[in-house]
């Protein structure tokens, strides 16, 4: 999943200057001054961001970690920000300052936000279009785990996948952040879920999240099993996170008239499409790119998160958090994420 969307909320850091007046606020942040391994990240004292017209400053309480955080610090992500910068694309906390021209937010509001990067810090700049209210009963740690994976999953299933109650959804990489969110949302919307994952532990995780059928892509002919589990029809909607051979298999077990929603390429291989299958099966292939929706579809995103908060309030979804780390242990958190042995989300706390 590559959520970048040209967001201009990047926080430019300045090293803290001890000669500045005491009124000049500082903060702790994970600062990248040169391309480095995520294992070498550490926390520095820097100047806190100043509010800008059309922006919010968020007093950060929790931060969601994502795979692209491990890439952006190495200069291997599709976006290469100017130094110095901080990783971190999603945060939750309290509105600390409201910039000129911003409506609908007030100091003290509980919010979660997609900030692209700049989030591994005690304060972050955010755009109102990428910032969403959270109810009092939603913990900041859970809220920080939601913007990217739950936003992506909801859009994938509802807007792009056009999921209808009673349909069957096949979800690849189902034990990852997007996968687990998609399981919960699909079940909440009345779908039957077939989850694809690797290994007994991850199969247990997707079952616990609500999957009706859990298939191990490493150990069985999962394409045949999907056909079997759907009485030969195939899956109506596929949420595809992997690419490569997995994507090819999805084109073979999709139902006539089905929809394959391309979310990402966690397997590392971008597949070619055999277009005869698209024609013969009368199927649709659509993509989801979450980040640009902040600029191009803000009203749709706002509605998406209102619906997600309602589903959370109804007890029909809850973010799966593998582990929490303090901000000072950001390197350990990203090491765990890079190991690919985690599931769900990793969250930093401030």
What DSSP assignment string belongs to 294-342?
Answer: HHH-HHHHHHHHHHHHHHHHTTS----EEEEEEGGGHHHHHHHHHTT--
Sign of CA dihedral 122, 124, 130, 131: positive
Residue 173 pLDDT exceeds 60: yes
Q: Which domains are delineated in the chain?
A: 26-146+319-349 (3.90.180.10), 149-287 (3.90.180.10)
Residue 10 pLDDT exceeds 50: no
Q: What percent of the chain has pLDDT over 70?
A: 93
Residue 24 pLDDT exceeds 90: no
Q: From CA 185, how far away is CA 315, in angstroms rounded? A: 11
Residue 108 pLDDT exceeds 60: yes
Predicted local distance difference test score (pLDDT) of residue 267: 85
54 close to 347: Cβ distance less than 8 angstroms: no
State the average pLDDT over residues 224-252: 97
Q: With bands split at pLDDT 50, 70 and 90, how would you rate the model's confidence at 78?
A: confident
pLDDT one-digit tens code per residue, 269-295: 899 988 998 999 999 999 999 999 999
349 close to 60: Cβ distance less than 8 angstroms: no
Neighbours of 268 (CB within 10 A): 8
Q: With bands split at pLDDT 50, 70 and 90, how would you rate the model's confidence at 6?
A: very low
Q: What average pLDDT does the structure give for the chain?
A: 93
State the average pLDDT over residues 57-82: 94
Torsions phi, psi for 45 (to 5 deg):
-95, 125
Predicted local distance difference test score (pLDDT) of residue 7: 45
Predicted local distance difference test score (pLDDT) of residue 2: 46
Contacts of 324 (CB under 8 A, 6+ apart): 141, 346, 347, 348, 349
Torsions phi, psi for 192 (to 5 deg):
-95, 135
Q: With bands split at pLDDT 50, 70 and 90, how would you rate the model's confidence at 341?
A: confident
Q: Name the pTM for this structure.
A: 0.90
């Amino acid at each position: 999943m590559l959520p970048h969307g040209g967001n201009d909320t990047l926080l430019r850091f300045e090293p803290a200057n001890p000669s500045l007046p005491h009124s000049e606020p500082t903060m702790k942040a994970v600062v990248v001054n040169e391309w480095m391994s995520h294992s070498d990240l550490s926390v520095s004292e820097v100047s806190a961001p100043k509010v800008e017209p059309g922006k919010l400053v968020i007093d950060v309480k929790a931060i969601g970690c994502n795979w692209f955080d491990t890439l952006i610090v190495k200069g291997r992500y599709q976006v290469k920000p100017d130094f110095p910068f901080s990783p971190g694309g999603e945060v939750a906390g309290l509105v600390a300052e409201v910039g000129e021209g911003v409506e609908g937010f007030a100091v003290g509001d509980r919010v979660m936000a997609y900030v692209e990067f700049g989030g591994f810090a005690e304060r972050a700049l955010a755009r109102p279009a990428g910032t969403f209210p959270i109810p009092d009963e939603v913990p900041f740690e859970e809220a920080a785990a939601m913007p990217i994976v739950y936003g992506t999953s909801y859009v994938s299933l509802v807007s792009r996948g056009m999921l209808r109650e009673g349909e069957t959804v096949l979800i690849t990489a189902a034990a990852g952040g997007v996968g687990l969110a998609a399981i919960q949302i699909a079940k909440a919307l009345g779908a039957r879920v077939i989850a694809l994952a690797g290994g007994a532990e991850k199969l247990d995780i997707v079952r616990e999240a609500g999957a009706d059928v859990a298939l191990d892509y490493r150990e069985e002919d999962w394409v045949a099993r999907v056909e079997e589990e759907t009485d030969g029809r195939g899956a109506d909607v596929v949420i595809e996170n992997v690419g490569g051979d997995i994507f090819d298999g999805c084109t073979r077990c999709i139902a006539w008239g089905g929809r394959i929603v391309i979310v990402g390429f966690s397997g590392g291989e971008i597949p070619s499409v055999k277009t005869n299958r698209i024609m013969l099966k009368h199927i649709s292939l659509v993509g989801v790119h979450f980040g640009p929706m902040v600029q191009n579809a803000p009203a749709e995103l706002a509605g998406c998160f209102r619906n997600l908060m309602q589903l959370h309030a109804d007890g029909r979804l809850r973010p799966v958090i593998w582990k929490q780390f303090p901000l000072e242990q950001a390197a350990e958190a990203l090491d765990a994420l890079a190991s690919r042995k985690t599931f769900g989300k990793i969250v930093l706390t401030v």
